Structure 1
Amino acid sequence: MRTRGDAPPRLEPFAAGPVAGIAAAAAALLTALSGRYGFHRDELYFLVAGRHLAWGYPDQPPLTPLLARLGSELFGATPTGVRILPALLAAASIALIALIARELGAGRDGQVLAAAAATCSGCVLGNGHLLSTATFDLTAWLTIILLALRLSRTGELRWWPLLGLAVGTALLNKLLVLGLLAALAAGVLTAGPRGLFVPRPRTLLGPLLALLAALPFALPVLYWQAARGWPELTVAHGISAAGGTEGRLLVVPLQALQLSPLLAPLWLTGLSRLLRRPQLRWARPVAVAWVVLCLLVTAGGGKAYYPSPLLYALTAAGCEPFVHWAREHRAKLAGGLLAALLTSALAALPVLPASALAVPMTVDPDLGEEVGWPELAHATATGWAAVPVEQRATAVLLTSNYGEAGALARYGPALGLPSPYSGHMGLWAWGPPPATATGPVLLVHPAGQADLEEHFTACRTVARVDNGHGTANMEQHAAVVLCAGPHRPWTALWPLLRRY
């Protein structure tokens, strides 16, 4: 925080027109491509969770399911309808990155470059294409970073409540934002401005105002998690275990790849600029925070994209120095941005035929998870037809994971299928089946993951899923298995089926 006698650095006017044009073009591109494949497994889950609104779920707070419900009701329960809000959030993120560049001294051209670079990056495009918790996290975290920079630059008390409001809103989406706050605090402690932590009435009042602004959002979410033993931490532990040592070592390389390797000169320049320029010492905690959060994610085994909003802040910081170079190398800059846009679109957006996803899925496996859900429902309907008509009143449809359950909830009614059950994530709380549902039981599970069958008798495979494109996603060749019934009553079995 600057001392009271220092005048904060003067900001250049915001390039609102061109930045808005770039953001609108990005939103238009995302909307145009939104229906090329189909729903992602997470979106199908969020649509189901949105019909069971609560202050939390085992894997997340309530905001993303609420956005799924809002999008489907406003724009239709189609991939395009659900993805309009993510496209708008991506546009907002692009504008926020330009505002961060302005906060760090960029003029009109530097702000436009920051917006253009963000639009050409894989992370913004990928988050804007799908509705996921990462979609809102990117926008919320960029807002927090912008407000933290504004607070550090000006030292004005009025930014604290807005910062608290932004943090509280982010907590409605993921508890992960607490990691961002810890990283920013570490940046302030190690790189200044340390005046934020001096115990004076003025410095204590700001954080208190922020806390009061955040509490109305944070308390219900934290209480829900605490009352249930912090299941989100259990989910995080599972993510860490699944990532393994290789995932930990790839945190920074994967971020650079997801941003775009062609944009590396910008964020490397921004990192150097924040760490070395005395005039930007007040903004240095952001650079330190990125390093700290990368270390935390590496140690904790989190996903590589978690620190990406801070990497975008570094990219924004590097744009102004490139403006002078760009004036003499416009063709090179335009060519680099175009190449970044094309490669990012290939990696993050549904531009290729579904049958040609093998290469982009090595960078972003989520693209493959948008393919094959109607086919899974049809294969399940084939299995349901094997259930004798007189036994269907007591039959149960049970899936291994929330993607399968979401797909059957979405496409099953038109095929005459009953509502599915599952012990995965939030769906476990919406079971068990009634005691009168003694069987048969129709199971759906990925190929090679037959653990679910051990709880049931006389199981036989009656159908297999084929997505029709040869896409090697999780549900390709999934098994539809008909069993006579459960080994024990559902009330005894249900606790054994719960998994995160």
Structure 2
Amino acid sequence: MKSTHQLLFVLAGIQLVLPFFLQSSIYEPHRDEFLYLAEARHLAWGYLEAPPLLSLFGWISNYFGGGMFWIKIWPALFGCFTFLLAGKIIIQLGGKTLAIVLGWLPFVLDGYLRLFYLFQPNFLEVFFYTAIGFCWFQWIGTENRKWIYISGIALGLGFLSKDSVLFYAIGITVGVLLTQQRKLFTQPTVYIAAIIGFLIFLPNLFWQYTHRFPVMHHMQVLEQSQLVHIGHKDFLMGQLIMNLPCFYIWLTGLIWVFFSPTGKKFRLFGWAYLTVITLLLLLHGKDYYALGLYPVLFAFGGYAIEQFMQSHARWIKYPALAFPVLLGLFALPLLLPVASPKKLAAYYSRTHLNKTGLFQWEDQQMHPLPQDFADMTGWKSTTAKLAHFYNSLSATEKTNTLIYCRNYAFAGAMNYYGHQYHLPEVYSDNASFLLWMPNHYHIQHILLVGKRMPDITDTVFQLFEKHTVVDSLNNPLARENGTKIIFFQNGNQQLNPWIEKRIAQLKAPYYRYALP
């Protein structure tokens, strides 16, 4: 038992440091990471696109300087915690070395390698899925009510991380109702746990209420712009592709809980899995929305495979280990950006990975790089170009210039890098940045960062005497390639009243009461 725990922590340590050594230092933070770091500078109980818990970790990262280590340490740590919970399940089932190794491989060879290196709500979602599952596993084994209460705490914190944790709550509920554990619903324990979870989530719910439930608007926009393009076949194929090197491990775990006499008492996890997959299919969810379902199944699968090998075919352990390792090493450049964009694009072309359909972005077009990798470059160089021009302005011009970005990514990036170049606050009306836009303006010029040149429909930009294209991002492998920096000068008397009125109009749908 002692040796298995030692192995568990050694593997968790390797998992923790591995991405830091693998990712090329060429890359910058991901576009969404800039947004969440910006939210951490405006702490609140909610944001237009996400609950608040991630911003707390972002605040700590910003406090320590916001370097790459402090950005990436949180997903890496929670990735380790997720594996430790899965590993603890394996050990309590009676699993030994092989089972623990099989339960660990998905975290370093599958899509989890990338997920637990990106500072996004998904790493918290997967952790809390697993924590809730771990609590119910403990309750099945001990019937100690404390685990139900702890699951309520995990559920509440999960809601503060990502709203889709609701899917797993529904899945577990269905799983309990369809198994012998349904007797729990005749006791007050589960209802007290639900109340605990609700009370933890309540501040965010109140924030949602006072801001007219922006989560609903966010989901509508997401559905219309992205989810509508996701077919059922693509979603199901995604479940295989995300876990391809280790697909047989979670699949064995699913089969084990449904058809093994030993696994029968854990069948609620099988029903929870099928329930959540069904919900995501009906709602056209993205494939990675389901990643939280698998760590518990990896634990069951690792244990079941080890038991089968011990009693039937010991030799199978060699191909069972070789297959995920070899395939995982081949796919590693898909999981993390381990080389420069040009080298990766050449590798994908040489290995024909670029013909697999894996590089289709949200615009439904094929590209040379995975979208996440293209979202990690171009930010600092564009900030430097903007700063070079801004710092060439006179003091009076600087005072009367608003730096405005069309999207949250550049606004976040320029605020992240801006202190290096003595830039003022950079604004956007995109995503949660809208809430932080000033209500009153006294400007004459706008320094615009955007991919699209303003046209006659962009009323505000018709109020200037002249404009100049200062510079642009010229990096074909960056997602924002072609973004322009444009200086609009000498706005007329209508400029400031027009901006104030427009910002008030944009903010109004998100405030139930008067604007702050």
Classify the TM-score, shorter chain.
0.7 to 0.9
Partner SS state of residue 362, structure 1: coil
1:450 is displaced (CA, Å) by: 6.8
Partner SS state of residue 425, structure 2: coil
Residue ranges of structure 2 left out of the alignment (5+ in a row):
349-353, 361-369, 511-516
Residue in 1 aligned with 2:472? 465
In 2, the alpha carbon distance for the partners of 1:61 and 1:15 equals 37
In 2, the alpha carbon distance for the partners of 1:424 and 1:100 equals 43
Distance 1:14 1:95, change over 3 A: farther
Deviations 1:285-328 (A, max 9, x none): 21121121112112223322122121232232222232244731
Residue in 1 aligned with 2:138? 150
Partner SS state of residue 301, structure 1: coil
In 2, the alpha carbon distance for the partners of 1:112 and 1:48 equals 38
Q: 2:341 aligns with which of 349, 354, 373?
A: 354
In 2, the alpha carbon distance for the partners of 1:366 and 1:496 equals 33
Distance 1:460 1:255, change over 3 A: farther
In 1, the alpha carbon distance for the partners of 2:467 and 2:62 equals 37
Distance 1:51 1:298, change over 3 A: same
Partner SS state of residue 293, structure 2: helix
In 2, the alpha carbon distance for the partners of 1:451 and 1:285 equals 58
Distance 1:369 1:192, change over 3 A: farther
Distance 1:305 1:432, change over 3 A: same
Distance 1:452 1:313, change over 3 A: farther
TM-score by length of 2: 0.85
1:185 is displaced (CA, Å) by: 0.9
Q: 2:293 aligns with which of 295, 310, 313?
A: 310
1:273 is displaced (CA, Å) by: 1.4
Query: Does the 8 Å contact 2:89/2:134 carry over to 1?
Result: yes
1:448 is displaced (CA, Å) by: 7.3
Query: Does the 8 Å contact 1:31/1:84 carry over to 2?
Result: no
Are residue 257 (structure 1) and residue 256 (structure 2) matched?
no
What is the letter of the counterpart of residue 465 of structure 1?
A: S
In 2, the alpha carbon distance for the partners of 1:184 and 1:446 equals 45
Are residue 482 (structure 1) and residue 494 (structure 2) matched?
no
In 1, the alpha carbon distance for the partners of 2:195 and 2:249 equals 37
In 1, the alpha carbon distance for the partners of 2:101 and 2:456 equals 53
Partner SS state of residue 129, structure 2: helix
Deviations 1:120-179 (A, max 9, x none): 222x21122111101111112111111112223332212111111111221221122112
Residue in 1 aligned with 2:417? 411
In 1, the alpha carbon distance for the partners of 2:163 and 2:228 equals 24
1:452 is displaced (CA, Å) by: 8.3
Query: Does the 8 Å contact 1:243/1:302 carry over to 2?
Result: no
Distance 1:186 1:467, change over 3 A: farther
Q: 1:494 aligns with which of 480, 487, 503?
A: 503
Q: Report sequence identity in percent.
A: 23
Query: Does the 8 Å contact 2:105/2:246 carry over to 1?
Result: no
What is the letter of the counterpart of residue 359 of structure 2?
A: T
Are residue 21 (structure 1) and residue 21 (structure 2) matched?
no
Residue in 2 aligned with 1:117? 106
Deviations 1:198-248 (A, max 9, x none): x3xxx22x1233134324421111111122111122212222222244414
Partner SS state of residue 337, structure 2: coil
Residue in 2 aligned with 1:455? 460
In 1, the alpha carbon distance for the partners of 2:217 and 2:114 equals 26
Query: Does the 8 Å contact 2:460/2:499 carry over to 1?
Result: no
**Larger mean Cα displacement after TM superposition, 360-369 or 167-176:** 360-369
Query: Does the 8 Å contact 2:126/2:293 carry over to 1?
Result: no
Residue in 1 aligned with 2:323? 336
CA-based RMSD of the aligned residues comes to 2.7
Deviations 1:69-122 (A, max 9, x none): 212334x32112211222111111221222233455534431232123332222
Query: Does the 8 Å contact 2:460/2:498 carry over to 1?
Result: no
Residue in 1 aligned with 2:84? 95
* Residue pairs, 1:48-87, within 5 angstroms: 48-74=38-64, 76-87=65-76
1:23 is displaced (CA, Å) by: 1.2
Partner SS state of residue 423, structure 2: coil
In 1, the alpha carbon distance for the partners of 2:300 and 2:451 equals 45
Distance 1:357 1:419, change over 3 A: farther
1:63 is displaced (CA, Å) by: 1.2
Residue ranges of structure 1 left out of the alignment (5+ in a row):
1-11
* Residue pairs, 1:378-389, within 5 angstroms: 378-384=384-390
Deviations 1:259-284 (A, max 9, x none): 2x121212222221111223322211
In 2, the alpha carbon distance for the partners of 1:68 and 1:467 equals 30
1:386 is displaced (CA, Å) by: 7.6
* Residue pairs, 1:88-487, within 5 angstroms: 88-102=77-91, 106-122=95-111, 124-197=112-185, 199=186, 203-204=187-188, 206-249=189-232, 250-259=234-243, 261-323=244-306, 324-325=308-309, 327-358=314-345, 359=348, 362=359, 364-384=370-390, 390-432=396-438, 434-437=440-443, 439-447=444-452, 453-457=458-462, 458=464, 460=467, 462-466=469-473, 468=475, 470-473=476-479, 475-484=480-489, 485=491, 486=495
Distance 1:451 1:57, change over 3 A: farther
In 1, the alpha carbon distance for the partners of 2:299 and 2:225 equals 33
In 1, the alpha carbon distance for the partners of 2:118 and 2:19 equals 9
Aligned length: 478
In 1, the alpha carbon distance for the partners of 2:419 and 2:44 equals 25
What is the letter of the counterpart of residue 99 of structure 1?
A: K
Query: Does the 8 Å contact 1:97/1:313 carry over to 2?
Result: yes
TM-score by length of 1: 0.87
In 2, the alpha carbon distance for the partners of 1:32 and 1:452 equals 48
Query: Does the 8 Å contact 1:455/1:487 carry over to 2?
Result: no
Query: Does the 8 Å contact 2:102/2:249 carry over to 1?
Result: no
Query: Does the 8 Å contact 1:61/1:173 carry over to 2?
Result: yes
Query: Does the 8 Å contact 2:442/2:496 carry over to 1?
Result: no
In 2, the alpha carbon distance for the partners of 1:449 and 1:86 equals 38
Partner SS state of residue 226, structure 2: helix
1:433 is displaced (CA, Å) by: 5.8
1:388 is displaced (CA, Å) by: 6.1
Partner SS state of residue 174, structure 1: coil
What is the letter of the counterpart of residue 106 of structure 2?
A: A
